[in-house]
Structure 1
Amino acid sequence: MAEITAALVKELREKSGAGMMDCKKALQENNGDVEASMDWLRTKGLSKAAKKSDRAAAEGLVAGKISADGKTGVLVELNAETDFVAKNDQFQSAAREFATVALGVDGDAEAIRAAKTSKGEVVQDAITNLIATIGENMQLRRAARISVANGAVAIYLHNKQGDDVAKLAVLVALEGAGDAAVLADVGRKIAMHVAGTPTPPLALNSDELDPEVVAKEREIQTQTAMESGKPREIAEKMVEGRIRKWQEEVVLLKQPFVMNPDQTIEELIAETAKQTGSPVSVKGFVRFALGEGVDKGPEGPDFATEVAQMSGAS
């Protein structure tokens, strides 16, 4: 039997993303053949994949793509249990492939999971196979698609982990009949603003704010005003003023542009319209930050234990 060295185990782990002891076992079963061990990991893992579905998956990647004509953009969030897996080539390739699939699917994450990859494999089946090979729970958590009839959709990937994949991604759609290259450039700058501003925008304008979010803010401001001891009529006026100020802070068009704080995004759009000689409007934006809103639950796999166990491979 071939000698199963730590270096060989490390090579298989980096290629497959599977755990150290699983990689060692696979190599032992396949006489040190890395490719055969990859197949072994996948075959043995299929029966275990369903058992992993209740484990928290808050790590992973956001993948983004823009269509060839520049008028459609998509984001998909593919989650795994650990950041280690997010660096795996197979995982990153899958995220990119699912984003490509999303460009051709006019639907949500469920529709994408039911669609087929370029290899003819159903996306959900591809995810199951990844779980089987790598040994962690994974899920295509969410997806977004935005298009314009005329104009451009721009993308910005923050904290990139590879081609088309990052920890945070933003799409911005600008509608207009002017130079698409100019619109794409301005759109990307606005996307960078959405990614980097200290107060991420909650909506494009005040009319699009979630009524429940507005009501909660109003409740907070009312309570604060009443505790100040002001008469009710004055307190109510204070609340209205604070709500207007808060709305300007959390809606994209009213925010100061991070690249030029003396100019709002709304003013930047007006300037762009003059530059292109045609009306320009922000049709919409999407911001995906990896794992936001996910209950991470118990801690994931203990890799320190795996390293200690690995001392037997030499």
Structure 2
Amino acid sequence: MVIEIPAQSVKELRNQTGAGMMDCKKALQDSKGNMQSAIETLRKKGLASADKKSNRITAEGTIESYIHVGSRIGVMVELNCETDFVARRVEFHRLAKDIAMQVAASPSVRYVSIDEIDEKIILNETKIESGKEDLVHKSQLIKDNIIAARINKRLKEMSLMNQPFIKNQDVSIEQLVKQHIALLGENIKIRRFEKFILGEGLEKKNNNFASEVQKIITQG
């Protein structure tokens, strides 16, 4: 016997997973109304669906911007999809905006994914970790394991895809993108982003007001 699922439960599940309404309803029916079980089912289904689409060409999309309150931090993100139809969807633009906000809120992020991090940077980080004093008296095996764990943590800090989503800490940006792949039915990729911080790279002039006043008086 198929159990009746309240519309509110279906809506709540859709908000949490990004899956289609009918998929949410079926997942709740299969789990006999258990929300957590239905979420797990849909996440597995969504990840499998997203993985199948991961090699499709993404030549359409949008460039989204976000200016943080106070106008001191700005971000531009290029988010790609397969068709112009999906590129115009509200959900796609909302995703692009959320990703731009994520970049603004993640000071350590420099790359879209770990795969983009240059080998020279990884070697330099490894060199830094290897020279730390707390590893001096460790055996080589333990030292290697600690360094590997620290490097892995550091690389994840630099990677956008590995960040916990600011609006839902239980979901990473990678999972968020995959949820939207399942929702919209197309491959979606974050191609690139750029962050602008007001005054970054400029040498700020530190004026001594008293000396400036004295200089004016002297010249006068």
TM-score class, shorter-chain normalisation, is 0.5 to 0.7
Report sequence identity in percent: 26
- The residue type equivalent to 2:72 in the other structure is K
Are residue 184 (structure 1) and residue 89 (structure 2) matched? no
| Structure 1, unpaired ranges of 5+ | 1-147, 161-165, 310-314
**Counterpart position of 2:33:** none
Instruction: Kindly state the Cα deviation for residue 210 of structure 1 after the two structures are TM-superposed.
Output: 3.7
- The residue type equivalent to 2:92 in the other structure is L
Specify whether residues 210 and 303 from structure 1 end up closer, same or farther in structure 2 by C-alpha distance, changes over 3 A only: farther
Instruction: Kindly state the Cα deviation for residue 187 of structure 1 after the two structures are TM-superposed.
Output: 0.8
More helix by share: 2
**CA-to-partner distance for each residue in 1:58-84, whole Å, 9 max, x for gaps?**
xxxxxxxxxxxxxxxxxxxxxxxxxxx
SS at 2:143 equivalent: helix
CA distance in 1, matches of 2:146, 2:108: 25
Q: In the alignment, which of 181, 199, 213 is matched to residue 291 of structure 1? A: 199
Q: TM-score scaled to structure 1, two decimals? A: 0.44
Q: TM-score scaled to structure 2, two decimals? A: 0.61
**Counterpart position of 1:195:** 104
SS at 1:284 equivalent: strand
Instruction: Kindly state the Cα deviation for residue 150 of structure 1 after the two structures are TM-superposed.
Output: 0.4
Specify whether residues 232 and 153 from structure 1 end up closer, same or farther in structure 2 by C-alpha distance, changes over 3 A only: same
**Counterpart position of 1:34:** none
Kept in 2: contact 1:193–1:258 (CA 8 A): yes
Kept in 1: contact 2:126–2:147 (CA 8 A): yes
| Structure 2, unpaired ranges of 5+ | 1-57
**Counterpart position of 2:170:** 262
Higher relative contact order (CA 8 A, sep 6+): 2
Instruction: Kindly state the Cα deviation for residue 149 of structure 1 after the two structures are TM-superposed.
Output: 3.8
- The residue type equivalent to 1:250 in the other structure is M
**Count, aligned residues:** 153
Q: In the alignment, which of 58, 62, 79 is matched to residue 152 of structure 1? A: 62
CA RMSD of the aligned region, Å?
2.6
- The residue type equivalent to 2:80 in the other structure is E
More strand by share: 1
Are residue 221 (structure 1) and residue 129 (structure 2) matched? yes
SS at 1:159 equivalent: coil
CA distance in 1, matches of 2:188, 2:175: 11
- The residue type equivalent to 1:213 in the other structure is I
Q: Which runs of 4+ in 1 moved over 4 A?
A: 300-306
